Amino acid sequence: MRIGIFSECYLPTMNGVVVSIDTFKEEMEKRGHQYFIFAPRTKKYIDKEKNIFRLPSIALPKQNYYPIALTPFAPWVDETVKNLNLDIIHCQHLFSMGSLGLKIGRKQHIPVVYTYHTLIAEYNNYFPFFDKVIKNFIISRSKNFCNECDQIITPSEAMKLVLYKYGVRKPIEVIPTGIKTENFKKINSHLFKAKHNISENEKLLLYVGRLAEEKNLKFLFKAFKKVREKHQTRLIIVGGGPQENEYKKLCYDLKINEYVLFTGYLKKEETEQMFGIADMFVFPSITDTQGIVITEAMAAGTPPVAVAKMGPANIISPGKDGLLTDLTLEDFSGKIGYLLKNPSVLKKMSSNALKTAKKYSSENCATKMEKLYHNVLVRSMYANQTDKVYIRSNSETKI
């Protein structure tokens, strides 16, 4: 199959969407399929791979790695897609690039698949004065866009239910982004602790992700303060984002800054190692549609403690391979404390987490995607044949 990806972001940007694109691309190309990626041009970045088509773009101040595609200034995309003879167009976003992919798909009679990666309607903290208006607009846009596509994909069952509530009536399939389980393993934390002057008696709690409002990190820091009052622990924060300095100040105000380590962005290999060094993974987000980091932690044998919302609630089996909590400081900190006080339970969960992670291997998820593409193509061909029969029947009637 020849698959065209229309995305609002791609390398060098690294986020869940880009990880998803590249993970499926790698696995599907092993099976003989071809990927063609259409994305905004990123200043000073030169693609190392073939079949990547960059559109003119502009970057917002301090957001160089999130350029916005200027689709009206790329009329060549239509003809390029036609020459590529694509079988499937797979959109990754609702707006600029997604709209272009859908438009071309409809014009050239190419079936369009759309992955709803992000619960974007809940990001209204970025528009405090228009939150209700913006939220309603995004929900309406989500419903209308999805209902124009041939097939919708969500990374979790929870996101699937949200789209049904929005009014989406097109087929929705749950296919999470897979992970390379072989890249994760348990690592002795001795060297890491020695490097950062951490006592061997202290347990390591880990968070990996963007440092932004929607990740609910203020909640995490307040909960950690409660944990630290009773247990010898350190909190490791891997990642960066717009609120990084604000969160460092909050830790100082909470008087926990001595016990919280902000590593900033790390290379992929270094981040993978961090999952194996930690004793427990802590995840406070209530908007993540999947939470790839949950499965990555499990693949390293590191049990997660997460708020029982959206994606994590569909991955974690409470009491078996991790714990889910209410959105209260008492429950979140209490569940972390429970595992710290019961190392045998933590060890058993670690073993079970490894088994759970195998279900989310990149190979297994790619198999599901390959099957979905095939089914979409079959439905499309059948629909086209039906349309031709209908037109011929009408013509014969008129004669």
Q: State how far the Cα of 302 lies from the Cα of 299, in Å rounded to an integer.
A: 7
Domain extent listing, the chain: 2-178, 181-358
Q: State how far the Cα of 41 lies from the Cα of 59, in Å rounded to an integer.
A: 10
Residue type at position 166: Y
Instruction: Give yes or no on whether 2-178 and 181-358 have one common fold.
Output: yes
Q: State how far the Cα of 71 lies from the Cα of 89, in Å rounded to an integer.
A: 16
In tens, the pLDDT along 18-37 reads 999 999 999 999 999 999 99
> pTM surpassing 0.85?
yes
CATH topology of domain 181-358: Rossmann fold (3.40.50)
Q: State how far the Cα of 30 lies from the Cα of 42, in Å rounded to an integer.
A: 27
Judging by DSSP bridges, how do beta strands 233-238 and 203-208 pair with one another? parallel
Across the chain, mean pLDDT equals 92
In tens, the pLDDT along 278-332 reads 999 999 999 898 889 999 999 999 999 999 999 899 999 999 999 999 999 999 9
User: Does 378 score more than 60 pLDDT?
Assistant: yes
pLDDT at 63: 65
In tens, the pLDDT along 92-112 reads 999 999 999 999 999 999 999
pLDDT at 16: 86
CATH superfamily of 2-178: Glycogen Phosphorylase B; (3.40.50.2000)
Residue among 73, 124, 125 nearest 100 (CA): 73
